[in-house]
Amino acid sequence: MKTFLEKHAKKITGVLSCFDRMRLRGYLPILSGMAMAQFLNQENIKFRNLKDFLTEHAVALQHYAKAMADTFERSYAYFASLVLVNCVFFCLMAAFFSYATAAELPETIAKVKPSIVGVGTFQKTRTPAANFLATGFVIADGRHVVTNAHALPTMVRASNKEFLAVFLPYGFEQQRIRTATVVDKDDQHDLAILKISDASLPALRLGHSENIREGESLAFTGFPIGAVLGLRPVTHRGIVSAITPIVIPAASTRRLNPKLIRRLTSPYDVFQLDATAYPGNSGSPLYLPDTGEVVGVINSVFVKETKETVIQKPSGISYAIPAQYVKVLLEKAGIAID
C-alpha cells in the first residue's frame, strides 16, 4: 500500500481534491486515511475486494478505529465510520489503478533485468571457458546472489584455475564475469546465497510471499535455455495456478525414496505456475509485475523429484519456492535486507 500511494501520489491528490469539492473537508478524515495507509503498510495488508477485506480484518480495523478515537478524543462511532469510508476509498483507488499493471510490466522488466545473472563455472583454458548452470538474481547490498542449491557444481577444480562464477547479462567477456563464493545453503528449500567480487550490482527487493494467493498474476525473468542464444534475460508471465505441498504421500512403500521421506518429515507449500519455466530458468526470480518485488524462486527439478514421483515422465508444470525461505536463509547468514 505504501508503494501504491507513493507511485500514484499525483492521481490520489486529484481524487482528494474531488472529495474537497464535495465538501468532505477537515483534516481528520485525511489524517485518518494517512494513518490507515501506514497501518496497512506495516501489516502488509492488500486490498482485493471490500467484502473480503472487511471480513478478514474486522478485529484489526476495530482496534484501529478505537486507537484513533482515543488519540483525538472523539467518539468511536465517528472513527468507525471514517474507517469504513477509508476502506471504500482505498478499494476504489486499487480498482482504479489495477488496469495499470499490464502497462507497468515493461517498466518493471527494465528495472529487473540488470539484477539477473547467470551462475556457473569459468576456466579460461577450456572450450568453452564458461559453463552456465542456472539463473540467479542480485539482492541485499548488491554483492549477494540467490540461486538454486541443486544447480551449484559438486566440485570446482581450483588446481586447473576453474572457479565458481557469476555472469553478467549480454556476454561472457572477462570484464562481465565475477568470482563467486558460497555463503550459505538451504538444501531443504534448494536455495543458495553467493557473494560476488568487485563492485555491487543493482539489487531486487524481497516481497511478502505469504500474501500471494491463487490466481495472482506474476512474472519471472531468467535464461530459459542458458547461453545457447546468448546471455539475454527472457521474461515469462503467468498466474499462480495453485499453492500446493512440495510432496504428496506415496500410495505405496514401493514409491518411497530417501528424498521423498526427508521432505515428508518437513513439508511446505510451493507455488505452481501456469507459465512454462525451462531448465535454465532455475534460480530465476518470481516477482510482482507492478513493483518487481521478488516473491519466489523458480525451481522445477528439485520440486519434481518428490512432487511428481507418481508420473513416469515429468510434466511441463513450473514451480517456485516462496521467498520467505530466502529471507530466513539471509538472516541465518547474517545478511541485512531492507
Domain boundary among the residues 72, 98, 124 is at 98
CATH of the domain at 264: 2.40.10.10
- Alpha-carbon distances, residue 156 vs 120, 174, 195 (angstroms): 10, 19, 16
| pLDDT at residue 121 tops 90 | yes
Do 174 and 256 lie in a common domain? Answer: no
The reported pLDDT for the residue numbered 314 is 46
Buried b (16+ CB within 10 A) or exposed e, 279-295: ebbbbbbbbbbbbbbbb
Same domain, yes or no: 232 and 321: yes
**Pair 213, 301 in one domain:** yes
Query: Is the pLDDT at 250 greater than 50, yes or no?
Result: no
Told to judge if 20 belongs to the known catalytic residues of this protein, a careful annotator would answer no
Rg (CA), the chain: 23
Q: Which pLDDT value is given to residue 172?
A: 63
- For residues 32-49, give the mean pLDDT: 52
Q: Are residues 73 and 121 in the same domain?
A: no
- Is 50 exceeded by the pLDDT of residue 185? yes
Looking at the structure, do residues 153 and 93 belong to the same domain, yes or no?
no
Residue 317 forms part of a structural domain: yes
- Is 107 among the domain residues? no
Average pLDDT (105-127) is: 93
Q: What angle do CA 3, 199, 116 make, to 5 degrees?
A: 55
From 142, 174, 196, the end of a domain falls on 196
Choose the catalytic residue: 144, 150, 189, 236.
150
Take residue 243 and report the three cell numbers written for it.
Answer: 499453492
Q: Which of 115, 144, 190, 290 is catalytic?
A: 190
As a whole number, mean pLDDT of residues 111-132 equals 93
Neighbours of 42 (CB within 10 A): 10
pTM recorded for the entire structure? 0.68
Domain membership of residue 106 (yes or no) is: no
The whole-number pLDDT of residue 243 equals: 93
Same domain, 181 and 220: no
Beta strands in the chain (DSSP E): 116-122, 130-139, 144-148, 163-167, 177-186, 191-196, 217-222, 234-245, 269-273, 285-287, 294-298, 318-322
Structure confidence at residue 53 as a pLDDT band (50, 70, 90) = low
**Residue 56 sits in the same domain as residue 29:** yes
pLDDT band at 169 (very low <50, low <70, confident <90, very high): confident
What is the rounded average pLDDT of the residues 60-82?
65
> Could you give the percent of the chain with pLDDT greater than 90?
42
Give 209 or 96, the one with higher predicted confidence.
209
Residue 269 among the catalytic residues: no
**Domain final residue, candidates 98, 125, 150:** 98
Per-residue pLDDT band for 2 (boundaries 50, 70, 90) equals: very low
Between 281 and 267, name the one with better pLDDT: 281
Confidence (pLDDT) at 24: 47
Instruction: Quote the number of domains for the chain.
Output: 3
Q: Which of 32, 209, 282, 284 is catalytic?
A: 282
Q: Are residues 220 and 189 in the same domain?
A: no
Assigned domain for 39 exists: yes
Domain of 27, in residue numbers:
2-98
Please count the helices (runs of H) and the strands (runs of E) in the chain. Answer: 10, 12
- Residue 103 resides in a domain: no
Asked, for residue 308, whether it belongs to a domain, the answer is yes
Q: Is the pLDDT of residue 291 over 70?
A: yes
| Cβ within 8 Å of residue 81, ≥6 positions away | none
The answer as to whether 108 is a domain residue is no
Q: Is 150 a catalytic residue?
A: yes
For residues 235 and 311, membership in a common domain is answered with yes
Positive or negative, the Cα torsion across 299, 300, 301, 302? positive
* Same-domain pairing of 225 and 315: yes
13 within a domain of the structure (yes/no): yes
Least confident of 130-144, 174-188, 291-305: 291-305
Whether 231 and 190 map to the same domain: the answer is: no
45 in the same domain as 160: no
pLDDT of residue 55: 64
Q: What is the pLDDT at residue 309?
A: 44
Q: Which of 4-18, 74-88, 116-130, 262-276 has the lowest mean pLDDT?
A: 4-18
